[in-house]
Amino acid sequence: MDNSLRIRDRLATASVAWQSRSFSLSAALRAQSSAASLVFLAAAVLSPYNSAAQEPKRSASVDKVVQLTPNETVASITLRPKQLAAGERMQLAPLEVVTAAGLEYVGIDPLQIERADLLVGFPGPAGPQGGLVVQLAQAFDIQNINAQLLDGQGLQRDGDLEFLSDPSGELIIHQLDPQTVVVGTKIFAKQMLVQRRQPGQIASLIGQVKTEQDILAIVSVSTLQPLVIGMLDRPLRELPDSMQQDITAIIQATSFAALGLNLASEERVQLVLSGGGIQQTDVIEQRLASLLKFAKETFVTEFKQQFDDPSQTATATRSYIDRVSGVLATKLTPVRKGDALVLDIDEIQNASVIGTLTGLLLPAVQSARQAARRMQSSNNLKQIALAFHNFESAYGALPAAAGVDDNEKPMLSWRVAILPFIEEADLYNKFHLDEPWDSEHNLTLLEEMPKVYRHPKRATKPGYTIYQAVVSDKSLLRLTEPTSFQDITDGTSNTILAVETNEAIAVPWTAPQDFSVDEQNPGKNLFTDGITQAALGDGSVHTIADSVTSEILNALFTRAGGERVSIP
């Protein structure tokens, strides 16, 4: 029988045996019926020099990692620092500094690490779980680790497990043998040291990789699919519909992803996406082609607009953009190999290629940064809106925009009133609620502004915020009187609660100062870079473009105007 077929049969048998075991992730992992073939396929793709005549024997260091990889592992990252440091292209790297810093601050020479394998477990009720297997070229004693990194209690014992611990008690360090150290959360580290009859899927894949990449990452995308899609939900909303659909479809169809990098010698990058079956891989291939086409057309159009004059140089530049974009599109198109797609880039050492890639990707990077900042600000507004709802649940009404004294004089902002509902009860208790925001005492708290009131990009003075409630005699929040949900007859989903303003009208966060509506020009001081974000009364957050009409904006600012309007 062909050697590769024997390997595949053995992996299939191992996979079936492994899937019969009961643990918390079994249901999710069993959903991939062809997982064993995926393990074989991805390993073969990441082993381009493999052949029946030259197949190397699996090293003891790999066997050790396979044995220590829990079945609950959903991702792994392998680093080979010693191999990387020995490469020809690393001659100008500050290797001496790396060694000195490692010994001084940790107690280990990083360049004596043969391989380090970071193993990531599925997030659970106990929080993120993971571990690290460090295999050194020479014997090492964990008691040589910098004492400042430890809890000072020395070696501890939990049953048969002997370990050191960090000051938090969350991480433990265990000496497996003279050249192997295991570091991890206590729960995961114990799982790593359990004897297993059969390796799990990630462990099997690690064991079948034949080439020794400087860096290798493997992810079980199918296991993490709901988590990944949930995390990307907000960023994807910032993208065009076609890109949203393509990216979501790729995630849903992908079973495993692997990324291998060789940097010290040949400078090669290899990405593998495996669908686990012909139909799933067809979907990945089609959606990647659509995504690449859209990106190419978008970037080319944007670049050409910068050179739209009729000069010879501009004409030549547009021609160059067309030519280079075509070459790069070809290089970035993965090759189909069975049930996997492989993107192999072996020219990253070419400075011109790097420069061109950087130039073409700059708009994407900038767009990604802007999207990330919008997402963070959106999350801030979401927390603020949720705090309002929790306040209403506790007190039966929404707070007034400004707390007042017995003489109806405004004292403190609603941003102070909702502090207990954004996990800032201790800060709330520091305020003298019977004094105005600018009293001698309360002014000392201005610089303790919670992070939720700080915009990720807008430059404001310390203690100032651009998150403001909309305040008028018709708005959802009233200046000095509480508002009940029954008062919002236009509907909470049609009424703006709070907005981002531009930094020109930022206000002290404790002050009873907010966005005052000018019905003649309701968008004044509201938009930055053509947009603003607004939290509605129902807790949702929406992006509003400056193209919105004054009529619609005024209607969204009223709680009981009788208009029938929604966010455009």
When pLDDT is cut at 50, 70 and 90, the band that residue 362 belongs to is low
When pLDDT is cut at 50, 70 and 90, the band that residue 237 belongs to is confident
pTM of the predicted protein model: 0.55
The DSSP code sequence of 319-360 is: HHHHHHHHHHHHHTSPEEETTEEEEEE--TT-HHHHHHHHHH
Q: For residues 222 and 31, what is the distance between their CA atoms, to the nearest angstrom? A: 9
pLDDT the model gives residue 15 = 37
Instruction: Give the burial string for 101-129 (b: 16+ CB within 10 Å, else e).
Output: ebeeeebbbbbbbbbbbbbbbbeeeeeeb
pLDDT the model gives residue 355 = 56
φ, ψ of residue 52 to 5 degrees: the values are -65, -30
Mode of pairing for the β-strands spanning 507-508 and 541-545? unpaired
**404 and 480 Cβ atoms separated by less than 8 Å:** yes
Instruction: Give the burial string for 320-342 (b: 16+ CB within 10 Å, else e).
Output: ebeebbeebbeebebeeebbbbb
- For residues 111-131, average pLDDT: 89
349 Cα distance to chain centroid: 28
* 3-state SS assignment for residue 91: coil
CB atoms within 10 A of CB 274: 32
Q: For residues 183 and 366, what is the distance between their CA atoms, to the nearest angstrom? A: 37
pLDDT above 70: residue 428: yes
- For residues 512-539, average pLDDT: 88
563 Cα distance to chain centroid: 40
Give the tens place of pLDDT for each residue, 445-490.
999 999 899 888 888 889 999 999 998 888 898 888 888 888 888 8
Please, what is the average pLDDT of the chain? 81
